[in-house]
Structure 1
Amino acid sequence: MSGEKESLDKTRKYDRQLRLWGDHGQCALESAKVCLINATATGTEILKNLILPGVGSFTIVDGKKVTGEDVGNNFFLDKDKIGESRAQVATDLLLELNEDVTGNFMEESPELLLERNPEFFDTFTIVVAVDLPERVLHKLSGHLWEKDIPLMVVRAYGLIGSIRLVAREHTVIESHPDNAHEDLRLDRPFPGLTQYCDSLDLSTMKKKDHSHTPWLVIIFKYLQIWKEQHGGAAPKNYKEKNEFKKLIQQGVLRNEEGVPEVEENFDEAINNVNVSLVPTSIPSAVQNIFNDSECVNLQPESKPFWILARAVKDFVESVGEGALPLRGTIPDMTADSERYIQLQQVYRQQAAVEAEWVANRVQQLLQSLGKGEPVPTDMKSRCQSQNNNNIASSKDTITEADVKLFCRNASFLRVLQYRSIAQEYDPATAKIGELVGNIEESDEDDAIWYILLRAVDKFYADFNRYPGVYDDQVEADIPKLKTCLAKLLHEYGNVYNIKDDFVHEMCRYGAAEIHSVASFLGGVAAQEAIKIITGQFVPMNNTYIYNAMKQTSVTVEL
């Protein structure tokens, strides 16, 4: 009983987010291990927004002591802790937010830790690096790129903020599109749907039954009439669809005076003609996944996503007749409960049959690749398995629930292949030239701040400090920063002149971390981290720039 009570309490506690990403998304979050480098105001805001929804564990790596400046902009540091370990103090206070989360800290410089024990970072689900110097960032990103561990680089610099996601590849099964078409297959009905619709005769129904027949059945019925009158072709253009709507309207019951009755189901049928007659097809993004070499040429080390994608591809090319597995869901509609449930079951049963074919194909592929034994199929056991660090087993097997989830979302699959930090900074592969070309058209483009952030990094590399950190040197640092900016642009083959106003602004910022900016970035960064951890929703690709002066932002691919 205690276990059931604990589960119920957790459901109540995380009710809102469970509606967003479900039990399996929460399971992924609770089994995640997050590493935060530098417990700055921005860093602790990010962790706060991961701890509250129940991330499994976190570790803070920070070799600095709490200063008066930290206390002034960081809600998780107190003035009586000045001089103590910033990593430890932040960890203790953050842990008070959620008793379900465990936390640890490493009181050591990230640079020294990378030199002495780079393997320390290999056990984390994601690493979040805040305000790292460029040379340290290069070392860290190179190591994590090799280990295929996602890295999030976050920065707050005055009224400017940036977030950069770095990962070799990120796959998304549940992308949760906003306006997806229903998968009704009216253009190519499966036998179960045809049989069910044929079993209902609108012409002999009583008024009550006629008014409560699902609109999907109504469209199916009149579509057959239309096809008989038009050589088997469905309505295609605007004119034909309007004529088809008039045909449906003729089926509305009339009273003794010949006046049409009010039948909501027929109104719904007419309103849904356009969306329900969209031809069944495979989205281009999904077709690109099928054509990807990772899908075509499976290897023993292939991720479950690619094995599932290959099984679905095989389904499409063999029994699916060019269509993805049926989603198995129908929208809400005016109908009596009995017939709505019957229609719902028709779709679910067909979806189950098709998912079973994919599941059998998955098992064949797993056997051919020599994959491991199955993991538990129930969510609680799988979460316990992952929390016990048994991650390898969950990556080597695919359960029936995994297959059903994949088939249900086959139309919405996404794969993001990011660029590395090395590619971003190498003049031969950098996209800064394209960025400058766009900025030249308008100095209002927030992407200009990316170039200025790179310039202050070059300043730091030359002077071991950021411009303007000392009040009496702000004016003297302006020409120095302009020189660094010119060198940066020259390295990338650009001669574009950025206005002095922007350079002056960066010097006036003095690398200050303003809490309002830190708080905003903390929310955005945590949201993107959750997308990476749960594999749901589509994360940014790949750099986000925030301008707090104008309350605007831009996402660029670097």
Structure 2
Amino acid sequence: MEHITEDEAALYDRQIRLWGLEAQHRMRNASILIVGIRGLSNEVCKNIILAGVGSITLLDHEIVTEEDLGAQFLIRQEDIGRNRADAAAERARLLNPRVKVIVDQDDIAQKADNFFTEFNIVCLTGCSPKQMIHIDHVCRKSNIGLYIADVHGFFGYIFCDLTHHEYCEESQEPASEKRKEAETVISKRSQDYDSLLDTMEASWGNPKPKALRRKVSPLLFAIQTLWLFRQENGGKLPQSTSQEDLDAMFRIRDERLKSAQVDGAFLDNELIQTLVSTVSAEISPVCAIVGGFLAQDILKTLSGKDAPLLNYFLYNGLQGSGLVHHVQKANK
């Protein structure tokens, strides 16, 4: 395990003051896997590389196309035809030469299970629900931290599964008769996480829509409807021009709300239609917000300070709202 040098201590001085030397040391030796190189993952890569993690592996077997140029800043016009991961790594390395950036051009579908256990954190973007569920299962068996995220037009989401996570939390004890000055107290905490599949099968017990809205956003069920559509259709996204796909999304929505014991009116047609109309698009500001939140939470997990995301972050760009929800298999 490598120790932080004097030069690194000077470079990351602000972070060390915020998190402490021990936390920076953990980040310095962390290995992170980023799957899928698009606008969202560009934002994540930028933030965690600048923070000084040990190594980051970029995994993507696709080549750069014209569509990639809209939201990605690690890729240029001249990269069209090159492998996405290889093209992005070239500029990612310039952000912080101290961070090792590794390129993997394999198809994630061909990766053996033990590949994922080589990392401290696995971050999936652009994966099919089948891959997401399987990799979550693999990571849980080895207590590897997993983040799953994507941006679909105006909407974005993050799911976090750390299986069992231990962290420290600071609090201020006020001054008293025995203690003349306030004192910082550090407490050890732990949190257990639910699997992705368990949260997809969560039931809510027929609450009134108004009461349910205080617990969760309708966007959660819209995203889950999208996942279920992809499971039915071999991983493909619904086509914005296909009435058949839209009707299938409405049907799956109704089935999911019924199984979740949620009033059918909780998720209206308009949200589903808007999601489908821009499902393949990446909007730069949405990528920046979701990617910034995701990178910050990855660093928080690595630092071991304060509680990370538990366990969904849902962003609605039309409303400008980002909400955190704790979704459990048996919701209480």
TM-score above 0.5, yes or no: yes
Matched residue, 1:176: 170
User: Which consecutive residues of structure 1, in runs of 5 or more, have no partner in the other structure?
Assistant: 1-5, 190-215, 217-329, 333-407
Q: CA deviation at 1:182?
A: 3.8
Q: How does 1:299-318 map to 2 (within 5 A)?
A: none
Query: Structure 2 CA distance, aligned partners of 1:20 and 1:438?
Result: 43
2:24 to 23, 26, 30: 26
- Count residues with an aligned counterpart: 322
Query: Structure 2 CA distance, aligned partners of 1:438 and 1:86?
Result: 46
Matched residue, 2:246: 478
Q: Which amino acid aligns with 1:29?
A: M
SS at match of 2:173: coil
2:32, 2:122 within 8 Å by CA — same for their partners in 1?
A: yes
1:448 aligns with 2:223: no
CA distance change for structure 1 residues 459 and 526 in 2, over 3 Å: closer, same or farther? same
CA distance change for structure 1 residues 183 and 55 in 2, over 3 Å: closer, same or farther? farther
Q: CA deviation at 1:41?
A: 0.9
Structure number having the greater helix percentage: 1
1:120 aligns with 2:147: no
2:142 to 147, 151, 155: 147
Matched residue, 2:330: none
Matched residue, 2:15: 17
Query: Structure 2 CA distance, aligned partners of 1:442 and 1:514?
Result: 29
Give per-residue Cα distances to partners, 1:475-519, cap 9 Å, x unaligned.
443222101211222333445232221121112113312111111
Q: How does 1:179-194 map to 2 (within 5 A)?
A: 180-182=172-174, 186=178
Matched residue, 1:421: 196
Give per-residue Cα distances to partners, 1:500-541, cap 9 Å, x unaligned.
211211121133121111111111111110111110122121
1:439, 1:448 within 8 Å by CA — same for their partners in 2?
A: no
CA distance change for structure 1 residues 501 and 438 in 2, over 3 Å: closer, same or farther? same
CA distance change for structure 1 residues 463 and 534 in 2, over 3 Å: closer, same or farther? same
Matched residue, 1:540: 309
Matched residue, 2:229: 459
Matched residue, 1:372: none
1:36, 1:127 within 8 Å by CA — same for their partners in 2?
A: yes
SS at match of 1:533: helix
Q: Which amino acid aligns with 1:69?
A: E
**Max Rg structure:** 1
2:127 to 129, 132, 143: 132
1:468, 1:509 within 8 Å by CA — same for their partners in 2?
A: no
Q: Which amino acid aligns with 2:133?
A: H
1:529 aligns with 2:298: yes
Q: CA deviation at 1:68?
A: 1.0
SS at match of 2:117: helix
Query: Structure 2 CA distance, aligned partners of 1:557 and 1:44?
Result: 27
Q: Which amino acid aligns with 2:281?
A: A
Q: How does 1:191-202 map to 2 (within 5 A)?
A: none
CA distance change for structure 1 residues 455 and 31 in 2, over 3 Å: closer, same or farther? same
SS at match of 1:528: helix
Matched residue, 1:89: 87
SS at match of 2:280: coil
Deviates more, 1:86-95 or 1:135-144: 86-95
Q: Which amino acid aligns with 2:113?
A: P
2:33, 2:122 within 8 Å by CA — same for their partners in 1?
A: yes
1:156 aligns with 2:151: yes
Query: Structure 2 CA distance, aligned partners of 1:37 and 1:76?
Result: 15
Query: Structure 1 CA distance, aligned partners of 2:163 and 2:258?
Result: 29
Query: Structure 1 CA distance, aligned partners of 2:211 and 2:246?
Result: 25
Q: CA deviation at 1:444?
A: 9.1
Query: Structure 1 CA distance, aligned partners of 2:191 and 2:214?
Result: 29
1:64 to 62, 82, 104: 62
CA distance change for structure 1 residues 183 and 155 in 2, over 3 Å: closer, same or farther? farther
1:555 aligns with 2:324: yes
Matched residue, 1:433: 204
When normalised by structure 1's length, the TM-score is 0.54
SS at match of 1:433: coil
Q: Which amino acid aligns with 2:248?
A: K
Q: CA deviation at 1:86?
A: 0.6
Q: Which amino acid aligns with 2:158?
A: I
Matched residue, 1:42: 40
Give per-residue Cα distances to partners, 1:18-54, cap 9 Å, x unaligned.
1101111110110000011111111121111000010
2:258, 2:264 within 8 Å by CA — same for their partners in 1?
A: no
Q: Which amino acid aligns with 2:64?
A: V
Q: CA deviation at 1:134?
A: 0.6
Matched residue, 1:490: 258
1:34, 1:57 within 8 Å by CA — same for their partners in 2?
A: yes
Matched residue, 1:193: none
Query: Structure 2 CA distance, aligned partners of 1:48 and 1:417?
Result: 29
Matched residue, 1:335: none
SS at match of 1:73: coil
Query: Structure 1 CA distance, aligned partners of 2:209 and 2:142?
Result: 35
SS at match of 2:34: strand
1:166, 1:542 within 8 Å by CA — same for their partners in 2?
A: yes
Q: CA deviation at 1:331?
A: 4.6
Query: Structure 2 CA distance, aligned partners of 1:444 and 1:80?
Result: 48
1:504 aligns with 2:282: no
SS at match of 2:20: helix
When normalised by structure 2's length, the TM-score is 0.89
